[in-house]
Amino acid sequence: MASEALPPLPSQPSDPAALAQAILERLFFTVGKDTVTATDRDWLHAAAYAVRDRLVERWMETQRSYYRRDVKRVYYLSMEFLLGRLLVSGLINLGILDEARAALRRLGIELERIRDLEPDAALGNGGLGRLAACLLDGMATLGLPGYGYGIRYEYGMFYQRIENGWQVEHPENWLRYGNPWEFPRPEVLYPVRFGGRVLQFTDAAGRLCHRWVDTEEVMAMAYDTPVPGYGGRTVNNLRLWSAKASRDFDLRYFNEGDYIEAVAEKNRSENLSRVLYPSDTTEMGRELRLRQEYFFVSATLQDILYRFRKTHGDLELLPEKVAIQLNDTHPALAIPELMRILLDEHAMAWEPAWEITRATFAYTNHTLLPEALETWPVELVARLLPRHLQILYEINRRFLEEVRARFPGDEARLQRLSLVEETPPRRFRMAHLAVVGSHRVNGVSALHTGLLRREALADFEALWPGRIVNCTNGITPRRWLLQANPRLAALITERLGEGWVTDLDRLAELAPLAEDAAFRDAFRRIKQANKQDLAERIHHHLGLDVRPDTLFDVQVKRIHEYKRQLLNLLHVAALYNDLRAGIERLPRTVILAGKAAPGYRMAKLIIKLAHDIAEVIHHDPETAGRLSLVFIPNYDVSTAADIIPAAELSQQISTAGTEASGTGNMKLALNGAVTLGTLDGANIEIREAVGGDAFFAFGLDAEEAARLRRARPDPRTWLEADARLARVIDQLASGFFSPDDRGRYRPLVDALLGEDRFLVLADFTAYAAAQEAVEAAYRDPARWWAMAVRNTAAMGRFSIDRTVRDYAARIWGVEPVTPRRRPRPRTSPPPRLPR
């Protein structure tokens, strides 16, 4: 065999001397700089290449072991992956962080200095994209054959600057200096078609056939990023698609001779993967977005089927070898696309094609908010995807026939269940498509799954009991504790050994230490040091001085009315009024961070309000030092990792029944913050785990909130019952916080006094009372730090590893594959030539 003749791969040792040598070689031969001219960014890239080199062998061996064992593969399809920076997490997962630090030091470089130069890979909006990133880490850590698929946006999530208190969005060109982690695959290139029309004809066997013709074409090119699990044994793959113009453009230039126009058109087609849509809940129904979704789905399915058919001839085996998880409805067009491939390209009959499709797909629902449920105008689908339109109609026709047979004469039910919303303009309901085309649907917390079964998807539950299952979200303890909070990680390792990193349930062994004064004190001192670090960052970046001996009270997440940052701000204003009135309150530093969707006026106004209130508080000598409000700009994975380890109070105060799960709540509790939260999403499970006496719950629960909303009480009732609240609303309305524009907060006040859809006023009094309970607890250090320790100790079940096991058992039907422990030095097998 030809491959026998190849020399073995050079080994990739990772002791400091060898690593230093490797980084130097990468600096010379890949970056093209010497040590005299190298900038810090050059060093960062050289180090990243050296780390990537150490992933490649495991990466290939992982892929080979999947082939050898012919395992069932899991494909995680997500329009978003919020990865963050990759250097330190790569070093940690490879187990060579200390070696790399020492290697860089030999070269005169501090790791801590260059690591912050890496741009965040911010290919996502918030929780949904971050879940995808955590799941990749969990699958690789468990040795599960998981492949991420997504889009390589040239511009990720926008960069948020604050100008004069207002959010201003700046484009984030994260690829400007190149991306050392990715491997471009110009040969992995698939055509994706749009538009055109459908020809119908009957073949020799009398079968009705369809051909999709006269389409325009865009090419999808793959970029691969290795995804190492903790321990570095399994290295999975994340494949992101980038749009490239098809060869048609060259031809058109020849035909029409208009070179400039041909190039301009090339640009237009490559616009497809240019930018991430920066809205995390409301879909704006833009044509480019629908094109992105189909582009992504079409390329991914071609790739999955190519891989499947290399080793399998029989498409009926697909569900045995392939599980496709749809992260929300954004990739739901994969369902009609697989049908189209099976019907039109493989001449399969409808029934077996549908059976295969349903058995292959599963769908994760992320939201209950009606405005966040994706729908697409039928007219738009008809124009861009005429063949899919036919297939969608046929899926719906057969589905409604099934419903009619089960529930004869129930027209209302048919209308509720239909994939098509009939009120003009007619639209496809993507959630219905995703449920009908999947064998499993999952919610992301116990409460959320229950609400799906009982309310949002109750008709589907009645039709197919058991299809809706729960997989509560989780977070990776590698990034959110080991990496983000090295002090606390070291304390835990000192007590428990290193096992907790892959077996987070071991944290439970810390629970008895909540009663140990010396341990509590060690825990408190770590928090204090982290607070000091954050205070220095705030000083450095914002020029603000905050006192690290005050309660660090943190609410960090996307800005959205349902998350109720406004409730927090109203309370800050009330605290300010208390202090002015001579009422003693616990000194605190309220920290907010989060981005607003660029078109979301209310959310942007809430950001401005935070700055206006801060301005008043900070300039009042009576409150200076006793209360501060800090808005940290550009919340992303890296800022989250700076803020969370310093948090003492975690605010998770969404209107009950609106937050599907939350994962920020888990990150904060893991780092020893005590939650002040509503009984919403995973807060409920967190409270169950830590115990009601280590969690400040308040306010209406989901049922009460729903009932109250239906009763439509006059919001003024709440003002009459709470003078502090009435005062603050009056201040907002009269321009107390906005003397330069007294009407500025009229829209907020009108929304509160009108419908108060998110029950901010209704929950205020309970919230303020819970805040007083927080103050009392914080004044009793023995009590507070015992609560903090118990929070960390109880977070085992929120490890992403548990979440991955839930998906594997309840949905995918796969088992972990553990490849050989360590690459054998020097004698590792030569790469096989592809056949």
Ligand X SMILES: *Cc1c(COP(=O)(O)O)cnc(C)c1O
Cβ proximity to ligand X: between 123 and 353 the closer is 123
Min dist. Cβ of residue 407 to ligand X (A) = 38
- The three-state secondary structure class of 490 is helix
Min dist. Cβ of residue 76 to ligand X (A) = 17
Task: Report how far residue 669's alpha carbon sits from residue 787's, in angstroms, rounded to the nearest whole number.
Answer: 10
Indicate whether 130 belongs to the interface with ligand X (CB under 6 A). yes
Identified binder of ligand X from the candidate list 62, 292, 530, 663, rule CB under 6 A: 663
Task: Report how far residue 753's alpha carbon sits from residue 223's, in angstroms, rounded to the nearest whole number.
Answer: 51
Taking alpha carbons only, the member of 657, 696, 720, 676 closest to residue 450 is 657
What region, left, alpha or beta, does residue 473 occupy, with left being phi > 0 and alpha being psi -120 to 50 degrees? beta
Min dist. Cβ of residue 594 to ligand X (A) = 8
In the numeric block, the tokens 């009959």 are attached to: 349
Task: Report how far residue 479's alpha carbon sits from residue 167's, in angstroms, rounded to the nearest whole number.
Answer: 28
Min dist. Cβ of residue 808 to ligand X (A) = 23
Indicate whether 148 belongs to the interface with ligand X (CB under 6 A). no
Annotated catalytic residue, options 655, 663, 792, 803 = 663
Taking alpha carbons only, the member of 810, 805, 815 closest to residue 138 is 805
Query: Among 141-149, 336-344, 634-642, 687-695, which window interacts with ligand X (CB under 6 A)?
Result: 634-642
Greatest C-alpha distance within the chain? 91
Task: Report how far residue 672's alpha carbon sits from residue 514's, in angstroms, rounded to the nearest whole number.
Answer: 11
Q: Is 366 a catalytic residue?
A: yes
- 289-308 residues near ligand X, rule: CB under 6 A: none
Indicate whether 633 belongs to the interface with ligand X (CB under 6 A). no
Which residues, including other chains, have CB under 8 Å from residue 589's CB and lie 6 or more apart?
546, 547, 550, 551, 552, 553, 628, 629, 630
Min dist. Cβ of residue 565 to ligand X (A) = 11
Indicate whether 126 belongs to the interface with ligand X (CB under 6 A). yes
CA distances from 420 to 379, 400, 429 (A): 12, 11, 6
Indicate whether 655 belongs to the interface with ligand X (CB under 6 A). no
Yes or no: say if 341 and 301 are a contact pair by the CB < 8 Å rule: yes
Cβ proximity to ligand X: between 514 and 593 the closer is 593
Identified binder of ligand X from the candidate list 23, 66, 88, 127, rule CB under 6 A: 127
- DSSP-based helix, strand, coil % in the chain, nearest 5: 55, 15, 30
Annotated catalytic residue, options 26, 266, 340, 366 = 366
Q: Is 663 a catalytic residue?
A: yes
Min dist. Cβ of residue 477 to ligand X (A) = 13
Min dist. Cβ of residue 666 to ligand X (A) = 8
Cβ proximity to ligand X: between 520 and 557 the closer is 557
Min dist. Cβ of residue 671 to ligand X (A) = 12
In the numeric block, the tokens 């070093």 are attached to: 91
Helix then strand count (H, E) for the chain reads 33, 24
Annotated catalytic residue, options 85, 130, 557, 571 = 557
Indicate whether 664 belongs to the interface with ligand X (CB under 6 A). yes
Pairing of strands 361-364, 649-652: unpaired
Indicate whether 74 belongs to the interface with ligand X (CB under 6 A). no
Q: Is 170 a catalytic residue?
A: no
Annotated catalytic residue, options 85, 193, 340, 563 = 563
Residue 403 has a CB neighbour count (10 Å cut-off) of 18
Min dist. Cβ of residue 187 to ligand X (A) = 34
Min dist. Cβ of residue 637 to ligand X (A) = 5
Indicate whether 588 belongs to the interface with ligand X (CB under 6 A). no
In the numeric block, the tokens 């946006």 are attached to: 153
Taking alpha carbons only, the member of 737, 733, 707, 724 closest to residue 766 is 724
Identified binder of ligand X from the candidate list 156, 196, 228, 662, rule CB under 6 A: 662
Query: Among 59-67, 123-131, 163-171, 262-270, which window interacts with ligand X (CB under 6 A)?
Result: 123-131
Query: Among 69-77, 105-113, 283-291, 636-644, which window interacts with ligand X (CB under 6 A)?
Result: 636-644
* AA letter at 410: D
Which residues, including other chains, have CB under 8 Å from residue 154's CB and lie 6 or more apart?
173, 175, 242, 273, 274, 275
Query: Among 122-130, 609-617, 689-697, 735-743, which window interacts with ligand X (CB under 6 A)?
Result: 122-130
Annotated catalytic residue, options 26, 266, 667, 724 = 667
Query: Among 107-115, 159-167, 620-628, 663-671, which window interacts with ligand X (CB under 6 A)?
Result: 663-671
Cβ proximity to ligand X: between 72 and 558 the closer is 558
Query: Among 512-520, 635-643, 702-710, 793-801, which window interacts with ligand X (CB under 6 A)?
Result: 635-643
Query: Among 33-41, 180-188, 524-532, 629-637, which window interacts with ligand X (CB under 6 A)?
Result: 629-637
Min dist. Cβ of residue 139 to ligand X (A) = 18
Identified binder of ligand X from the candidate list 61, 182, 636, 680, rule CB under 6 A: 636
Yes or no: say if 594 and 569 are a contact pair by the CB < 8 Å rule: no
Identified binder of ligand X from the candidate list 315, 501, 596, 637, rule CB under 6 A: 637
Pairing of strands 208-213, 216-228: unpaired
Annotated catalytic residue, options 558, 588, 709, 797 = 558
Q: Considering CB under 6 A, how many residues would be counted as binding ligand X?
A: 13
Cβ proximity to ligand X: between 463 and 637 the closer is 637
Taking alpha carbons only, the member of 25, 139, 39, 19 closest to residue 81 is 139
Indicate whether 146 belongs to the interface with ligand X (CB under 6 A). no
Alpha helices by DSSP H, 374-410: 378-384, 386-406
Query: Among 165-173, 657-665, 726-734, 768-776, which window interacts with ligand X (CB under 6 A)?
Result: 657-665
Residue of this chain nearest to ligand X (CB atom) = 664
Task: Report how far residue 586's alpha carbon sits from residue 550's, in angstroms, rounded to the nearest whole number.
Answer: 8
Yes or no: say if 159 and 606 are a contact pair by the CB < 8 Å rule: no
Min dist. Cβ of residue 124 to ligand X (A) = 8
The contact mask relative to ligand X for 517-536 (x = CB under 6 A, - = no) is --------------------
Cβ proximity to ligand X: between 236 and 663 the closer is 663
* AA letter at 580: R
Helix 97-106 to helix 40-69 angle (10° resolution) is 150
Burial readout 381-392 (b: 16 or more C-beta within 10 A, e: otherwise): beebbbbbbbbb
Identified binder of ligand X from the candidate list 557, 626, 724, 797, rule CB under 6 A: 557
Residue 770 has a CB neighbour count (10 Å cut-off) of 19
Q: How far apart are the first and last CA of the chain?
A: 11
Cβ proximity to ligand X: between 131 and 384 the closer is 131
Q: Is 667 a catalytic residue?
A: yes
Residue 745 has a CB neighbour count (10 Å cut-off) of 24
The burial class, CB within 10 Å (0-12 / 13-18 / 19+), for 256 is exposed
The contact mask relative to ligand X for 479-508 (x = CB under 6 A, - = no) is ------------------------------
Q: Any idea which residues carry the catalytic annotation? A: 366, 557-558, 563, 663, 667
Q: What are the residues binding ligand X (CB under 6 A)?
A: 126-127, 130, 557-558, 635-637, 640, 662-664, 667
